[in-house]
Structure 1
Amino acid sequence: MGFLDELTASVGGVSTTPDDLAALATDRSGASSGSLPLAIVRASTVDDVRQTLRLAHERRVPVVPRGAGTGLAGGAVAGRGEVVLDVSGLNRILSIDPVDEVAVVEPGVITAALDRAAGELGLRYAPDPASAEISTIGGNIATNAGGMRCVKHGVTREAVLGLDVVLADGRLISTGRPTVKGVAGLDLTALFVGSEGTLGVVVGATLRLRPLPVHTLTAVAAYDSVLAAATACSELARARREPSLLELLDGATLRVIDRAQGTDFAERGQALVIAQADGAAAEAEITAIGEVLGKEATWTSLAADPASSEELLFARRKALPSIERFGRALIEDICVPRSRLAEAFQGVERIADARGVEIYSFAHAGDGNLHPIIAYDRTADRPPEAVRQAGDDVFALALELGGTVTGEHGVGLLKRDWLAREAGDDVLDVHARIKSSLDPRGILNPAKGF
C-alpha cells in the first residue's frame, strides 16, 4: 500500500484535490515553493496528528505544520512531495482557571477569541500580535509572536507555561507545568516556542493569563522628524518610565494613512508616538510619560477613557491596511537595541532613497522592533529586484546596529540565509544537532528556520 493510501485509510480529512492544495500552498507573506504539495491533512483530533507523523516518519515524507496561514516569513509553505498538516481544526478552549489565571487550549484557537473569553473572567491573554483576529495560538507559539503590549508583558514565550507536542515519530509528550514556577529538568517548553514547527507539532498549550488592567490611559505626541520621535522614546527608558504600549510611526506611514482613511495625522508632524500606561497607577504613569514625550513634540493629546484611547490608537491599527490598500507590500521585521532605534529609522530612509523604493516604517518602539514595509505595484507577481535588494539592505542594517533579522515574524523560508549570517556556523551546528535528536529523519518543516 502506498503512503497516500495508507494515510487516507488511517486519518480523516485527507485531500489531494488541486484546488485544496493551491489554497494552502502559500501564506500571508506571499512566499511559494513554486509547486503544489502532495496532500493536505486537516486534523480534527490529536490522534490524526500522531498518525500522520508516524506514517510520514516511517516513509520519510516531509510534513509542514500549518495553522491559519497568517505567517509573514514563509514558515508554513509546502511544496512538491510534502504533506500539509493543518491543525486549525483543533480549536477548542479546554479550560480557563480564574484563580490560577491559566488557560488550556488547542493550537487552532484564534488569539483574539482566547483574549475575549479570558476577558469575561476579568483576565486577558497579554500577547497581542496585529493578526490577533485571524492568527492562531499554535502559529503564535511557532514564531514566538509579539505585539504592541509586549513592551510590558512580554512576547508569547512569557505566556506559555507548558505544551503538548507530537514529535516527528508520532510520540506525544508534555512539557512544562501549570505552575508559574518550575525548574525540574531542561526547559523544553521554551525550546519549542519559536521553533517554527521544525522540532514537533504543538497540539495543546497551557497559557498564563493576566488580570485586565483597571485603567488604561493613552498619550500621543507628534514630532517634526522621526529622529526626534525615536529620541523621545529612548528618553522614556532613560527616565525609567514603564509604558504598557509604545508605538512609533514615520511620516511616510502617516501620509498613507491620511490618504486611505481621510485623516490629518501628517499635518501634525512627520512622526507620531503612541504610548499607553495601564494598572492602578496608570494616571500617574501616563502623566509622567506625557511630560517626557511632550518636550520636543509639535502636538500632544491625552485620552482618559477607553473610547478616546481607541481613537488615538486608530493610526497604528490602520497602518498596514492603509499601505496594502494601494499596492502590495514586503513586510519586514527587524529588532535593534532600543538606544539605536533612531539610527535604524534613519538607515531605512537611506535605503529607500538609494534603491528608489517606497518604505513605510513603524515600530514597537518600547522593544526596538521595527517593521519597514516595502511597497510595490499590486500587478507584480513577485517583489521586483529593487524591493528584494532593499529588504536585504534592511537585514544588513539590523545586524550592523547589533540587532536581529527578525523580532517576531520568524525565519521561515525567507530569512534562512540571513540567519546564518547572524548566528554563525557554530550556533547553526547546535541547532542542527538538536533538530537531529528530535527529528532524525528530517521530516518536520524542512528548509525552514535553519
Structure 2
Amino acid sequence: MSSIELSSSLLDNLPPPLPRVFENLVEEAVLAYRKRQRSLQLGEQSVRALGVLERPIESLLAGAKYYSQSAIEIATHFFNIAKPVDKEGAFFVLVAISQVLLPVPKSLEAISASDFHRHPDAVKNALWFYAAPEVCDVLLASDIAAMNELGVELAGLMTQARLENQISAKAAGLQELPTRLTTLLSWDVLGRTAPSEIVSWLQSDDLALQHTGLSALCISGIKVSAALMRNAIQIALASMTAHSTLAGNVLDLACALLCIHYPDSEGVMLVEEADIPLSIRRRCISLLGIPRCLIPELEILAKQGTSLSPEQRDLLLMCLGGIPANLSERPGVQQHREQALIELATFVFRENGCAEVHAQHLAEWTPQLLEGPLWPLVQIRLRAGKPWNKQLNVSLALDVSHRMRLWLYAEFAAQSGRSFPLLINDRASRQLEVLQTLEEMGDLFDLQ
C-alpha cells in the first residue's frame, strides 16, 4: 500500500485533525512544486534529488485522504489568495488533491476554463501524476479543443493504447498536433509517428519543427542520417541569439543523437568543434566514453581549483563510475584533489586491460598516453568504469543530472530499437520504479 492509499476504515478511527496542519502541508507542497519545476529547468540535479523535492507533495496527498472535503476547500482557499509566484503550484496542488479524493469526472470540476488556460502545465502535471486513466476519456470527449489536446497528451503519458481510435479522430481536428514532446509520446507509444514524418520535420528550417523531430527521435529510437542532425545543429547555432532557450534545446538533442548513433565519427568531431557550448561538449564526452576525448577533460579536472560543475560530475560518473570525495563538493587541497583523481583513473584503466599503468604515468594527462601504457583503451568506450554495452546502466540514470539522464533514455531507445516512453519530467517515484524494474529484469530487451 502506498503512502496515499490509506484504507477508509483506518481513516474513520483517526482523531480530529489538528488546526493548521493541512494548511502547512499545502504551503510546503506549493513551495516543493516550484522548486521541482526550477530543478527541471536548470537540469542539474538527479532523479534521486527530484524525489526528495517531491516528498512534501506526497505527504500532502496522504494527508488529503484524512481531511477529505476539507482538503479541497483549504486548497481552493490557498489558490484564491496565493501570490502570483505561487499560483501555478497552488493550482497544481488543488487539481492533484481533487484527483486523489474524487472520482472521474467529478475530479475535473475544480478546473475552470480560465484557470486551465492560465496554468496548463499545472493541470497537465497534476492529471499526469495522480489522475485515473479514465480522465483521458473525459478530456477526449470534451467540446473544448484544448481539452482534447490534453487528452491526447495524457493518453500517451499514461500509455492508453485502448484510446487509439479516439486519439486518431481528435488529432484530425487539432491543427497544431503534434507540437510538443508529450503529444509526440502518444504517437510513438502507439506506433503512429512514421519515420518519413520525422524526416520532414528535420528538413524544415523552422526551429520548433526541428525540436519536434529531434524529440520524436529521442523517444522512438529511430535512426536518421547524420546530415539531418548536422542541419539541426547549424540552424540552432544560427538562432541562438534570437531564440536562446529553444535553440539550446535543439542543439542539445541533436548533439545527443549524433553521439548515440554515430559515436566514432560524428560524435568525436563534435567534441573538437569550438562552436559547441562547453556543457554540451562535456555531455558528448560523457556519453561517448572515448579515452582520447576523455583524457584532456581529466587534465582540466586535475588542475582546476574550483568545485565540479554538474557536467563534470556527470563525466566522472559516466566514464569512471564514481566521484572521488576530494573532488566532490567543495574545493580541497589541490594536491589531494589531483591525487584522488589519479587513483580513480589508475584503478579504472587497470581494470580495463592497462596492467602496466601506474600513478606516475598520469602526472601528465596527454593523448600520447594511448600510445604507451594506455594502449589497450584505444578500442574501448568507457561507461561507469567498464567497457560500454547496449544495456541501460540504471545506477547511472539514478545519479546523473536531468539533462544527462535524457541522453541516457534516448540512447536506450536507440539501442533497444523500440520506444522508451519515460520522460525526465515525470514524477520521480515513477521514474525510479521503471528504472528499478529494468535493473531487476536486465535481459528483458535481449540486448546482450
Same fold (TM over 0.5): no
Larger helix share, 1 or 2: 2
Query: TM-score scaled to structure 2, two decimals?
Result: 0.26
Larger strand share, 1 or 2: 1
